[in-house]
Structure 1
Amino acid sequence: MNRLNIGVLGMLQACVGDTPIAIGGSRQRTILAMLALAPGQVVSVDALVEAVWNGRPPATGRTQVAICVAALRKTVKAAGFHDDVIITSAPGYLLRTDSTRIDAVEFAELTAKGEAAADPAEAAGCLDEALKLWRGPALTGVSGLPVEIEAARLEELRLTAHEKHAAIRLDLGQHNDLIGELTTLVREHPLREQSRAQLMLAQYRAGRRAESLGTFRDGQRLSINEFGLELGPALRKMHDAILRDDPSLAATASRPDRTANSSLRQRLRPAQLPADVHGFTGRAHEIAALDGMIGDTKLSIGLITGGSGVGKTGLAVHWAHGVADKFPDGQLFADVSAGAKAVLGGFLRALGVPDDLIRDDVEERAALYRSILRDRRALVVLDNASSFAEIRPLLPGSAQCHVLVTSRGQLYDLLGQHGAHHLRLGSLAAPDAVELLGSVAGSARVTADPVASNRLAELCDRLPLVLRTAGARLAAKPHWSVRHLLDKVADEAHRLDELSGAEQDLRAGFAASCRELSEPESALFRRLGLLTVPEV
């Protein structure tokens, strides 16, 4: 049976089997891209209208979206794919996943498989296969702000996969082969310090010590001239080690091969938590509440909810690091927006399950996952959940396990059926907000003008994400005072633009929350914005 193949890792393309499909005009391309970026999930008509017309839709926008969807369905059927691939589901449409292959999903699965592999050669092979799926910049030729934001996210994932791939190949002693690839990567992305450090190490191991030091000096010159900042500690440490000819820089033996010691994976205790949050402040009450859940005699589930930027993931990761030693059988972490099937595959590999025992069916994977965790005391952190159905297969059955979920929504089924402990996050307390700002920008600058610092924290709504972004702007501009930034963000019409940058688009984050509103809620929210009052 032919499958519908959709490619977003490059120029947007679609084909049935090997037969290309000619996608219509720019509107159809944007709509198909939006659906392909959220496979199996409902994309609201409002979100499609927003993407197609960038916030300035005509009165007939919703009708025109319906016409474009009908044209896409007709085009796909004319190419020989007779199943309904785009399903109408209130309040919008969804792209079926059972007979559709999307290269971005395959990329996510391969990178997860590579990260979980115990054999370095196998891991390198998976990451190499994942990177070969890319045909160019993601979603080339597709317009629309939401699509462009997703394209930037995918590009960041690609660069991260390149760095992980390079790290494994360095372990395998392939430094000579890597120099050309890393040189190109550093030239295209000169601010990525990990790639620069890897290039320095590869050059050093290849006997090109002077070039390695030159690579450091080029990065140092760029960082000082552009931002007035020294390079980070990892690069400085690498530079010092090269100057000393530190023995630790020599090529090391790779990780043990799975075939040589198959029991290694069976005893593997995953530790998948991301790095702890730098400068974490506040949330003492919430942390105490989470601590109180660990003693439950049944499966305990915590649910952290709140709007975009309020610090849900930061709290979950920070708390999880603090209690990690209470879960000796491992800590699992995943962004569940990748889909239950991909997440379960990653979890099972991290728990030591060979690939040939991991079935394709989601329910079979979930059953095996619960069986493995039955006698284990593990912590499972499920980030960015959008629905209960999305996380249901990821819940262990063991009373010794603990699950922590973050979500913008309330997940009523999780609260009702599983008695989850609910923590709804709001803004930070004013002193904590100022402290967080100081931890990023530098406490001396914040305490030098407490009035401006407090006012800046208020204009950031005391939201951790916005405060960190404001602090990062100050850190990048050492000649700015807090009051200078305060003056720039005083105009609320341009505030989000002033606080956004290449690394963090605040408007996109808040827009994602708005897209999850129902149509009546969305209409009410837009109308409230027309009021000429400071607060509602």
Structure 2
Amino acid sequence: MEGETGPLRVPPGRQEVVLAGLLLDMGRVVATDHLVDVLWDHNPPDTARTQVQICISRLRRSLATVNARIETRSSGYLLRADRGSLDADLYREGVDAATVLDKEGRTGEAAARMRAVLDLWRGPALDGIDAPYLRTKADRLDKDWLNTLERCFDLELALGRHQRLVGEIREFVDAHPLHEGLRGQLMLALYRTGRQAEALEAYREGRDLLVERLGLDPGERLREMEAAILGGDSSLQLREHARLSVDRPEPAPVLAAEAAEPVDNAEAAASHPRVIRPDQLPADVADFVGRDDAVRGLRQALVGDGATGVAVLFGRPGIGKSATAVRAAHHDLAADFPDGRLYCDLRATREEPLRPTDVLGRFLRALGVPGTGIPDDLDERGEIYRTLLASRRILVVLDDAVSEAQVAPLLPGVGDCAVIVSSRVRLTGLPGAKVIELGGLSEEHSLELLANVVGRDRVEAEPESARALLGTIGRLPLALRIVAARLAARPHWPLASMVDRLADERRRLDELAHGDMTVRVGLSLTYDGLPPSDAQVFRLLGLVDGSTIPAWVPGAVMDDHRPFPGDLAEPLVDAHMLDISGIDVAGEPVYRFHDLVRDFSRERLLREEPAAERAIAEERLTGGWLALVDEANREMMGGNYLQVRGGASRGSLPRAYVERLMADPMAWVDQERANLRTAVRQAGEAGLDEHAWELVSGLTLLFNRHGHLDDVEEIHRQALPVVRAAGNRRGEAALGLCFDTVCVEKNRFAKGRSVVEYSLRLFTEVGDPLGQALASKSLAYHAQLRGDVRDVIAHCEPALALFREVGDPVGQRSVLTHLGLTYVMCGDHDASRVRFEEALDIAEKLNDVRGRAQVLRRMAQADRLRGEFTVAADRILDALELLDTMVDPVGEACLLHDLGRVRLAQGRPTEAQVPLERALEIRELLRAKDGVASVTLTLAKVAAMQGDAARASALASQARGSFVGPETAGERKEADRIIAAG
């Protein structure tokens, strides 16, 4: 987009991603939830919607210079722009126009128009934007452009431009070596320029690449092109512009069953078998429900357009792979394979899986080959099998496969047969196989299955209990069938009683057993087949209480320092004992357990891992979290400043991975917020008091940046009893400083001051100068809130000396900022300027963007006290511009509030209203009650200045109730004055 001053510049990061999401659906409403998914493809932070709104607000400011606008709708946002302002629109219109010209026989004009639209291309769509949810649309644009390029080459080849096209087509073939359409055009252009040998070499290069990378031969079009070049086919000459094609041959007719004489050798068996229609499928599941998407995927893979004839259903034990395969074979695919169905349970989870030789023997007998005609050799059996299937339409179902090596000899050769494979692993090595993953049943289908077994009346009588059951077992079909069977056998049991039985994680697997059905057995079969090292990884991951498992965790619990620790988890993913739930900010997988699999992991952990080993692994896990929290604070402030450190062990994580993870430390915090809270709780439960309080200390700085005060209060509450029980005085003092952050933001000033004074005594007792400095700084802030400037200086000066003693520049910057504002209140402007300049210099040397914004804010407050309103406004705008590079809703709300106050002081109430309303919106989204009250009171002043006494009084009354305690006496007095005037 072009603006008045040139191309629109959007900062990289979230704003860029949100704009891309809106542009891809220009003119259509894009749901806020969709934008949340785009920005955080799993585990979005609690403030996700707030952050989206902030991005939209900033984009609106940027789009003000171009002919585009973002409109708010009830469910999301809609981006509008003038027609023709997007290259994508011009591209589509140009392609459509070229298509019309081509149909009218105006080939030259069509080619010229096609070239014009191709020139709009600037490279891969959304290049540089890391948003997996947008990647599909971007890939579609890339593929569409490539298809348009191929059409353009077709037109230009028809115009006889093969000489000039050779080099250009070869360039794109090198970039897309597996694109058979482009390779065919290169062969044609080379052939027409008399370079027959090079045309054939281009074919051979493509064939070798296809075989090497995909295990596939070239398609019919390329094979025909090669044959035509070898034969000097006249149809390749310029006079005819047509693609070569070969229709798929009709399937051979099905022979009626007839008797045959016994045969004595394999060759005769293949040539003259008894033609019978095998049907080995097990019985269909009568109460089968759901799986419509999976069945559609099977049909597409086996009989749809572009069918490859092989589909793999994979998923965890008990997910319903076998039932889905059998249901599809019995019903949805029955008419497509009239010559029969072969079936075999390959026994992957048994002690000895079936060998391909034995399976082929079964299949050959089912196909009519007598035992005497079945050779012993695997290859010979395979040849007979493929020969018998070549002219028939038979569906082969291979259930519970262990590996590609077991399945590959059982695949038919050429012909119209198809294969469904079910497995607990992906089997991506099978050539051309369509892999379909089965997850849990939907809630609707799960309830339907439960009702089919226990009776609809019982489900309808206890709908909440029914849904709670589904949540407890993760909608795993096998577990649901077991629960349903137990309830059906006990009609006097209410559904709620089963919920209670399953509530205890330690006994849940015991409850999920009925007759021969048991979840534990299915999981045990897979677990017992794991190599010992993989089994230990599986057990130790049971230590993780969080909803997800980051990629670094397997290496931490195993004390394995490989550069890609997630590799330790991949065998468990392959075995479907662990799932991938997304990608972290470093681009590495994020894992998670199904609830029942986690229960099984913990069961094995307690049974097989010694208590001492469990404790060591848990400390390594907590130490990993602590190391990352340290790294996040170091990235944000240039070092581990403004926090006391203890003696807790830190994990040693791969450096390259940590650097990628911390490229945007606050994005990492937002992604891992729930896990970080859980890490504090686990540290406390494990008696790791040093880890617990150090985590809280580091997280308070990080959580406070995004206004997550409830999180700070929660983790403080979790750690404090553990630290006190351990007699950890330094830890208790540090936790007091963390709690004061909550007290200040929630107007609990007296409580906060009391806690900090106690922390100062504890830090003094243990001889911790940094702790003393931090406590003194907090007490200075409390004095500033009371307006006691002498007390501010009394606490700040010793704090500054201590921060200099311990070498904490961020602490120095913070105290100097307090002193700068305080000296203005005392009338000492020279001293104020010196303190502010030193504070700003420290922030700039540390490249602490947020610190610079904080200093500018305090300088603006000093300017306002001196009556220098224009200077104050400029400083606030500079600070807001700095915050545009990060997500800091708390800081933005404070600055916008200050800007409103300055405009109000300038006598410009209308200009004050816009930033104040935006500040109020952010405070409300953050659920900051006291911040909302403070902004509302300022808006009341705006209304009073505008002459709207009634509205001013109403706003002041609305805010009045939040002002309690001596620190807010001024606000109470101001609110009372406005109310009285109304």
2:44 maps to 57
* Distance (whole Å) between structure 1 residues aligned to residue 109 and residue 344 of structure 2: 54
1:235 maps to 222
* Distance (whole Å) between structure 2 residues aligned to residue 146 and residue 120 of structure 1: 39
2:163 maps to 176
Contact 2:188 2:199 in 1 (8 A): yes
SS in 2 for 1:56: coil
Matches within 5 A, 1:80-91: 80-81=65-66, 85-91=69-75
* Distance (whole Å) between structure 2 residues aligned to residue 130 and residue 501 of structure 1: 37
Q: Residues 429 and 449 (structure 1 numbering): CA distance in 2 closer, same or farther, change over 3 Å?
A: closer
Deviates more, 1:111-120 or 1:149-158: 111-120
Matches within 5 A, 1:463-478: none
* Distance (whole Å) between structure 1 residues aligned to residue 343 and residue 142 of structure 2: 39
Q: Deviations over 1:179-216 (max 9, x none)?
A: 11111111111111111111100000000000001011
Q: Deviations over 1:370-405 (max 9, x none)?
A: xxxxxxxxxxxxxxxxxxxxxxxxxxxxxxxxxxxx
Matches within 5 A, 1:6-405: 15-16=2-3, 19-77=6-64, 80-81=65-66, 85-98=69-82, 101-117=85-101, 118=104, 119-252=106-239, 310=296
Out of 413, 416, 423, the position equivalent to 1:487 is: 423
* Distance (whole Å) between structure 2 residues aligned to residue 95 and residue 142 of structure 1: 19
- Partner amino acid, structure 2, of 1:91: S
Q: TM-score, normalised by structure 2?
A: 0.29
* Distance (whole Å) between structure 2 residues aligned to residue 138 and residue 21 of structure 1: 17
Q: CA deviation at 1:534?
A: 2.5
RMSD: 4.8
- Listed as ranges, the gaps of 5+ residues in structure 2 are 251-291, 306-325, 347-396, 398-402, 412-417, 438-466, 481-982
* Distance (whole Å) between structure 1 residues aligned to residue 430 and residue 43 of structure 2: 21
* Distance (whole Å) between structure 1 residues aligned to residue 38 and residue 161 of structure 2: 44
Q: CA deviation at 1:90?
A: 2.3
Q: Which has the higher helix share?
A: 2
Q: CA deviation at 1:69?
A: 0.3
Q: Residues 226 and 158 (structure 1 numbering): CA distance in 2 closer, same or farther, change over 3 Å?
A: same
- Partner amino acid, structure 2, of 1:123: A
Out of 449, 466, 478, the position equivalent to 2:343 is: 449
Q: Deviations over 1:435-486 (max 9, x none)?
A: 69x98xxx99x9553668xxxxxxxxxxxxxx9xxxxx99xx9557699952
- Partner amino acid, structure 1, of 2:476: P
Q: CA deviation at 1:150?
A: 1.4
Q: Residues 488 and 160 (structure 1 numbering): CA distance in 2 closer, same or farther, change over 3 Å?
A: farther
- Partner amino acid, structure 1, of 2:89: V
SS in 2 for 1:96: strand
- Partner amino acid, structure 2, of 1:486: S
* Distance (whole Å) between structure 2 residues aligned to residue 150 and residue 108 of structure 1: 15
Q: Deviations over 1:259-297 (max 9, x none)?
A: xxxxxxxxxxxxxxxxx9999xxxxxxxxxxxxxxxxxx
Q: CA deviation at 1:498?
A: 6.3
Q: Deviations over 1:120-141 (max 9, x none)?
A: 1121122211211111111111
1:335 maps to none
- Partner amino acid, structure 2, of 1:184: E
Q: Deviations over 1:337-362 (max 9, x none)?
A: xxxxxxxxxxxxxxxxxxxxxxxxxx
- Partner amino acid, structure 2, of 1:487: S
* Distance (whole Å) between structure 2 residues aligned to residue 487 and residue 531 of structure 1: 21
1:533 maps to 475
* Distance (whole Å) between structure 2 residues aligned to residue 17 and residue 504 of structure 1: 51
* Distance (whole Å) between structure 1 residues aligned to residue 155 and residue 184 of structure 2: 14
Q: Residues 249 and 432 (structure 1 numbering): CA distance in 2 closer, same or farther, change over 3 Å?
A: farther
* Distance (whole Å) between structure 1 residues aligned to residue 122 and residue 79 of structure 2: 22
Contact 2:214 2:431 in 1 (8 A): no
1:414 maps to none
Q: Residues 100 and 199 (structure 1 numbering): CA distance in 2 closer, same or farther, change over 3 Å?
A: closer
- Partner amino acid, structure 2, of 1:66: Q
Contact 2:295 2:332 in 1 (8 A): no
Mark the structure with the bigger radius of gyration.
2
Q: Deviations over 1:18-64 (max 9, x none)?
A: 61222023101110001100111111111100111122211100010
* Distance (whole Å) between structure 2 residues aligned to residue 500 and residue 528 of structure 1: 35
Contact 1:114 1:122 in 2 (8 A): yes
* Distance (whole Å) between structure 2 residues aligned to residue 49 and residue 209 of structure 1: 55
Q: TM-score, normalised by structure 1?
A: 0.51
* Distance (whole Å) between structure 1 residues aligned to residue 5 and residue 419 of structure 2: 60
SS in 2 for 1:486: strand
Q: CA deviation at 1:84?
A: 6.0
Contact 1:500 1:506 in 2 (8 A): no
Contact 1:52 1:143 in 2 (8 A): no
SS in 2 for 1:179: helix
2:793 maps to none
Q: CA deviation at 1:503?
A: 12
Q: Residues 232 and 277 (structure 1 numbering): CA distance in 2 closer, same or farther, change over 3 Å?
A: closer
* Distance (whole Å) between structure 2 residues aligned to residue 101 and residue 16 of structure 1: 11
Q: Residues 67 and 502 (structure 1 numbering): CA distance in 2 closer, same or farther, change over 3 Å?
A: farther
SS in 2 for 1:135: coil
Give % identity: 32
SS in 2 for 1:43: strand
Q: CA deviation at 1:107?
A: 1.6
Contact 2:70 2:78 in 1 (8 A): yes
Aligned residues: 322
Contact 2:210 2:216 in 1 (8 A): yes
* Distance (whole Å) between structure 2 residues aligned to residue 506 and residue 220 of structure 1: 28
- Partner amino acid, structure 2, of 1:251: L
* Distance (whole Å) between structure 1 residues aligned to residue 148 and residue 47 of structure 2: 42
Q: CA deviation at 1:310?
A: 4.6
Q: CA deviation at 1:502?
A: 12
Q: CA deviation at 1:226?
A: 2.6
Q: Residues 112 and 173 (structure 1 numbering): CA distance in 2 closer, same or farther, change over 3 Å?
A: same
Q: Deviations over 1:162-192 (max 9, x none)?
A: 1111111111111111111111111111111
Q: CA deviation at 1:488?
A: 4.1
Q: Residues 151 and 137 (structure 1 numbering): CA distance in 2 closer, same or farther, change over 3 Å?
A: same
Q: Residues 219 and 447 (structure 1 numbering): CA distance in 2 closer, same or farther, change over 3 Å?
A: farther
Contact 1:42 1:90 in 2 (8 A): no
Q: CA deviation at 1:224?
A: 2.1
* Distance (whole Å) between structure 2 residues aligned to residue 182 and residue 203 of structure 1: 10
Contact 2:68 2:82 in 1 (8 A): no
Contact 2:207 2:218 in 1 (8 A): yes
Contact 1:87 1:95 in 2 (8 A): yes
